[in-house]
């Protein structure tokens, strides 16, 4: 084996290690960007709408999607170059982050829909109560 070939293999190995580190770092950044469990569980709002609006804000995934995209980009490059000896752990973690983002996004949509429905429902119930009070006054 020539010196050039050895150097190329060594460089490829270094590049593969750096690529794996980049994927791992991006995945760690994605996890860090997700909302904390306490942020979506605890509240100090005074009414249901306040709770829903707070929850909707807490369900913001921040830069997690961008970090996941970076991880997937470097993972795909590494896989296509056959640079990883064993990348099952990376693939599993990418899938776990994707699932978490999907769950957070779905919850955010549901909370958003509910938050837009509650004020109208409150108004309808208040009108019904006012109509009932007026009917009771007329009966007296």
pLDDT, tens digit, 9 for 90 and up, residues 93-106: 999 999 999 999 99
Whether pLDDT at 7 is above 50: yes
Whether pLDDT at 74 is above 70: yes
Cβ(19)–Cβ(82) under 8 Å? no
pLDDT of residue 136: 64
Coil/strand/helix, residue 31: helix
Burial class (CB in 10 A: 0-12, 13-18, 19+), 2: exposed
Task: Name the residue among 5, 63, 7, 12 with its Cα closest to residue 34.
Answer: 63
Task: Name the residue among 63, 44, 67, 69 with its Cα closest to residue 55.
Answer: 44
Segment 68-96 mean pLDDT: 94
Whether pLDDT at 87 is above 70: yes
Give every CB contact of residue 16 below 8 A, 6+ residues apart in sequence.
78, 81, 83, 84
pLDDT of residue 1: 46
Tokens of 121: 């429902």
Q: Which residue has the higher pLDDT, 76 or 6?
A: 76
Confidence grade of residue 6 (pLDDT, cut at 50, 70, 90): low
């Amino acid at each position: 084996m020539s010196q050039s070939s050895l150097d190329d293999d060594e460089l490829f190995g270094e590049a593969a290690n750096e690529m794996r580190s980049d994927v791992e770092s991006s995945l760690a950044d994605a996890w860090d960007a997700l909302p904390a469990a306490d942020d979506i569980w605890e509240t100090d709002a005074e009414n249901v709408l306040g709770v829903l609006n707070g929850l909707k804000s807490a369900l913001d995934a921040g830069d997690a999607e961008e970090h996941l995209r970076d991880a997937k980009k470097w993972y795909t490059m590494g896989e296509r170059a056959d640079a990883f000896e064993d990348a099952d752990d990376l693939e599993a973690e990418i899938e776990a982050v994707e699932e978490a983002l999907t769950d957070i996004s779905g919850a955010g949509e549901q909370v958003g829909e509910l938050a837009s429905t509650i004020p109208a429902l409150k108004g309808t119930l208040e009108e019904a109560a006012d109509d009932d009070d007026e009917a009771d006054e007329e009966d007296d």
